[in-house]
């Protein structure tokens, strides 16, 4: 298996947003690459594939993103490195917010989308299913995910931390990240929530104590808000500096949190007096102290990943050997046990041969 892509580790938001592929582009990628899975999140876009080379995959990324030369941002993994990277991503070890829960859902959905489209093979199926199982094991056996950590949680914490009674305007509450943020806000007794809903939207959930207003009237409720959180999948800005500046009349500090990629909120709104803007990349710094507390659990998770990865490699190796099984059996039956043992000795390195001998001792 091979993998390549960009992430928050090596590409700023201004670059990553060019790789925010919709379902149609993800399907185009899978059609071009053959057996493949495409993962697109706020913090990464990655391709996992088995039927083609990395050069073709990289060229396809450049073409669909229109980003030009992406060499400095691209990371490429092959064979064991690609498998380990998939495990670390799925388990939240490679996330900006260490141990986040959201990435497991996103990987599962990316795999399910590819599987439903008939774009997976034995290696991808086995690798993704094992990685997902490993992530669940880590959640059970370590404390990595015991403390809720996600962009939604941090956004809710920042809003509630403003102090006093906080009026929050939530734009995009019907989306996955938006709904998760709203659910994190609901238990905060000092937070009063107004959510927007688009006309004819079937995804908006009505909660007790939450006021719902039309999306088109979002600017009408901006002045009374202490915090505005936006998390839509819209290709256009939900808030611009010109329109927001025209409606903010009350002199008070305001926090704007943008959880979208591409961004929902025009960056220049930070130039409005009293406005502080937090974007996706800023959340990494907010999560830094939390990550430090989780390092011990992360080390335990890495050990579990190594165990599960070793089992996966044995499954894949055995599957690749199956077409040769009958001929190998016939050849082995023509050899004496001693001849077979010496062939193993000559064909394996010392560590591998010692492992074979350990297995044979176990047969005594």
Active site residues: 42
As a three-state string, the secondary structure of the chain is CEEEEEECCCCCHHHHHHHCCCHHHHHHHHHHHCCEEEEECCCEEEEEECCCCHHHHHHHHHHHHCCCCCCCCCEEEECHHHHHHHHHHHCCCCCCCCCCCHHHHHHHHHHHHHHHCCCCCHHHHHHHHHHHHHHHHHHHHCCCCCCCCCHHHHHHHHHHCCCCCEEEEEECCCCHHHHHHHHHHCCCCCEEEEEEECCCCCCCCCCCCCEEEEHHHHHHHCCCCCEEEECCCCCCCCECHHHHHHHCCCCCCEEEEECCCCCCECHHHHHCCCEEEECHHHHHHHCHHHHHHCHHHHHHHHHHHHHHHHHHHHHHHHHHHHHHHHHHHHHHHCCCHHHHHHHHHHHCCHHHHHHHHHHHHCCC
In terms of Cβ atoms closer than 10 Å to its own Cβ (0-12, 13-18, 19+), residue 153 is buried
Give yes or no for a contact between 30 and 114, defined as CB atoms under 8 angstroms apart.
yes
């Amino acid at each position: 298996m091979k993998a390549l892509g960009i992430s928050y580790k090596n590409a700023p938001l201004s670059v990553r947003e060019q790789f925010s592929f919709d379902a149609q582009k993800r399907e185009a990628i899978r059609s071009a690459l053959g057996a493949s899975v495409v993962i697109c999140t706020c913090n990464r876009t990655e391709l996992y594939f088995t039927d083609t080379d990395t050069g073709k995959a990289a060229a396809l990324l450049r073409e669909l993103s229109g980003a030009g030369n992406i060499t400095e941002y691209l990371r490429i993994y092959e064979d064991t490195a690609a498998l380990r990277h998939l495990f670390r991503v799925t388990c939240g070890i490679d996330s900006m917010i260490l141990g986040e829960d959201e990435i497991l859902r996103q990987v599962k959905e990316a795999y399910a989308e590819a599987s439903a489209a008939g774009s997976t093979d034995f290696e991808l199926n086995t690798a993704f299913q094992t990685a997902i199982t490993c992530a669940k094991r880590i959640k059970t056996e370590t404390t990595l995910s015991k403390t809720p950590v996600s962009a939604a949680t941090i956004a809710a914490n920042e809003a509630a931390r403003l102090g006093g009674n906080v009026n929050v305007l939530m734009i995009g509450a019907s989306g996955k990240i938006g709904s998760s943020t709203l659910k994190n806000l609901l238990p905060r007794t000092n937070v009063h929530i107004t959510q927007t809903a688009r006309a004819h939207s079937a995804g908006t959930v009505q909660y007790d104590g939450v006021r719902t207003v039309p999306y088109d009237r979002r600017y009408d409720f901006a002045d009374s808000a202490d915090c505005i959180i936006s998390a839509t999948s819209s290709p256009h800005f939900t808030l611009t500096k010109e329109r927001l500046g025209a409606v903010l009349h009350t002199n008070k500090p305001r926090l704007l949190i943008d959880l979208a990629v591409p961004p929902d909120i025009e960056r220049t709104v930070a130039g409005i007096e009293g406005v502080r803007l937090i974007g996706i990349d800023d959340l990494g710094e907010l999560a830094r102290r939390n990550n430090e507390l989780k390092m011990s659990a992360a080390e335990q998770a890495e050990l579990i990943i190594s165990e599960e990865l070793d089992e996966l490699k044995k499954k894949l190796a055995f599957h690749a050997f199956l077409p040769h099984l009958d001929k190998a059996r016939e050849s082995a039956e023509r050899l004496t046990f001693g001849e077979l043992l010496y062939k193993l000795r000559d064909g394996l390195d010392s560590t591998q041969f010692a492992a074979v001998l350990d297995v044979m001792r176990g047969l005594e």
